[in-house]
Amino acid sequence: MSTTSTYTVKGMTCGHCVSSVKEEVSEVTGVANVEVDLATGLLTVDSDGLIDSAKIIAAVEEAGYEVANR
């Protein structure tokens, strides 16, 4: 079952920021696709099943950013 989750990432200012977030979140087990919108901070994660949001948040934090409204 495929699922899509969205998060708002705070602190991204450039394309490199987007790349860092995409790279870290892509490494989370089960993640199929990651989209990041720099202008809105929207992180969209497509996965092959339910993924613990704590893992996604940890990946964003590993990239050096923060998830809003968690």
End-to-end C-alpha distance for the chain, whole angstroms: 24
Q: At what angle are helices 15-26 and 53-62 packed, to 10 degrees?
A: 140
> Is residue 1's pLDDT more than 90?
no
Q: Which of 11, 68, 9 is nearest to 36 (CA)?
A: 9
CB–CB of 46/2 below 8 Å? Answer: yes
Provide mean pLDDT across the span 42-59: 95
What global pTM score does this model have? 0.92
Question: In this predicted model, what pLDDT tens digit does every residue of 6-46 receive, in sequence order?
Answer: 999 999 999 999 999 999 999 999 999 999 999 999 999 99
H helix runs in 1-70, sequence order = 15-26, 53-62
pLDDT band for position 69 (cuts 50, 70, 90): confident
